[in-house]
Amino acid sequence: MASLPSPSPSRLQSRAYAELRRLIASGEFPPGTFLSERQLAAQFGMSKTPIHVALERLEAEGFVTISAQQGIVVRGMSVDDIVDHYELREAIECWVVRRIAGKLNAEQQGQLRENITRQEAALKEWDLNSLMHLDEQMHFLLCSYLNNKEIITTMERLRDKIHQVILRVTDTDSKRPTESVAEHVEIINAVLAGEGNRAADLIVGHLEAGKRRILNPERFAR
């Protein structure tokens, strides 16, 4: 019986990159974790070469640092990183909601309403993992409706950092999920009603609330 062909190097690199990025974004590899190419290769069932390539890519994206002195370490988001992240999202998402407000088709409106319904159900069950994914999905849906490829690419690049940010906000303040869902409802209602400027103002307030909780966690401690 002929053996199955081995995966190509590019497929192994993509697999290693996707899995490492998932482990970092989910918090399974939290900031400060030391990584070993040899151990990761054994864990993923592949050679060190695709692991090395994946780690170099993650370093370029700011997820890890690689140095001769310290080795490979999962990188946390600095204060500057957090401020930059929120400023970029505010610029993109405010522009988007102003452009799409009142212009969505029935399918798009239905997707947003379904997302909000699922957020409210997840909140009621206190299913924070599902709620975080629905939060990310809502922001991405809004940006995708403008059909701007550069914005979509940027939001895809930010997706895992958005997840990291939501994790930190939720960990800082247990009341934030309830407040966040209420803010999401207001944002979506404004978009559907064609109130673009109001939706943009709500986006700013929503994102700034998250940023404050990360930068000043002692003010919102449980």
Locate all alpha helices (DSSP H) within 101-195, ordered by sequence.
Answer: 106-124, 128-144, 149-172, 176-192
Residue 45 has pLDDT above 60, yes or no: yes
In a domain, 140, yes or no: yes
**CA pair distance 16, 9, nearest whole angstrom:** 10
DSSP state for residue 217 in the 8-state scheme: G
- How is residue 198 written in tokens? 């109001």
Tell me which of 33-37, 44-48, 152-156, 212-216 is least confident. Answer: 212-216
**CA pair distance 92, 90, nearest whole angstrom:** 6
In a domain, 4, yes or no: no
> Number of H helices and number of E strands within the chain?
9, 3
Give the total number of structural domains in the chain.
2
Residue 10 has pLDDT above 90, yes or no: no
In a domain, 212, yes or no: yes
The SS3 assignment for 214 reads: helix
In a domain, 3, yes or no: no
Choosing from 74, 92, 112, the residue where a domain stops is 74
- How is residue 85 written in tokens? 């992240």
Band of the pLDDT at 62, cuts 50, 70, 90? confident
